């Protein structure tokens, strides 16, 4: 193991796409960063913006939302709703001077195991360069 900072990333994975994609990544023995702490949700539209803020304030270095590609949602439009929620979150983060790059939304289908590994690893690398979330050490929040 290198001495590089190992970030903690919380991922909210849609049951129908990204979570199955993650499973496929495991089955096909792709290398997936161990930084990702996956939380299964039934739909990316189920990701309450509160979850993202909670993960961020409690010290997660990054928060990933993953859902089905547009048009492929199991519930027809959940991912479109998720997209608008993330737009709102990003705007709130930007306005308040928080780091909006620490949150993001990806579309990963159930068959994209490789892509799941790739985006997770890329995001982990990005968080490594960013270093720890400043809220992690903050005791008065």
Residues 67-96 that bind another protein (CB under 8 A): 69-71, 77, 80-81, 83-92, 94-96
Task: Tell me how far apart the alpha carbons of residues 49 and 17 are, in angstroms, rounded to a whole number.
Answer: 20
> What is the 8-class DSSP label of residue 69?
P
Closer of 29 and 95 to another protein (Cβ): 95
Q: How far is the CB of 65 from another protein (least distance, A)?
A: 10
Q: How far is the CB of 89 from another protein (least distance, A)?
A: 7
Q: Which residues of 18-55 are buried (b: 16+ CB within 10 A; e: fewer)?
A: bbbbbebbeeeebebbebbebeebebbbbbeeebbbeb
Closer of 26 and 71 to another protein (Cβ): 71
Closer of 24 and 47 to another protein (Cβ): 47
């Amino acid at each position: 193991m290198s001495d590089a900072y190992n970030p903690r990333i919380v991922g909210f994975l849609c049951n129908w796409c990204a979570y199955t994609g993650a499973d496929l990544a495991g089955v096909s023995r792709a290398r997936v960063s161990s930084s990702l702490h996956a939380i299964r949700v039934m739909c990316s539209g189920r990701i309450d913006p509160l979850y993202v803020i909670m993960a961020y304030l409690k010290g997660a270095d990054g928060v990933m939302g993953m859902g089905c590609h547009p048009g492929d949602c199991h519930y027809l439009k959940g991912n479109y709703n998720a997209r608008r929620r993330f737009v709102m979150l990003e705007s709130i983060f930007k306005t308040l001077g928080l780091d909006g790059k620490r949150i993001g939304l990806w579309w990963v289908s159930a068959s994209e195991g490789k892509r799941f590994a790739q985006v997770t690893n890329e995001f982990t690398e990005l968080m490594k360069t960013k270093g720890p979330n400043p809220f992690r050490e903050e005791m008065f929040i």
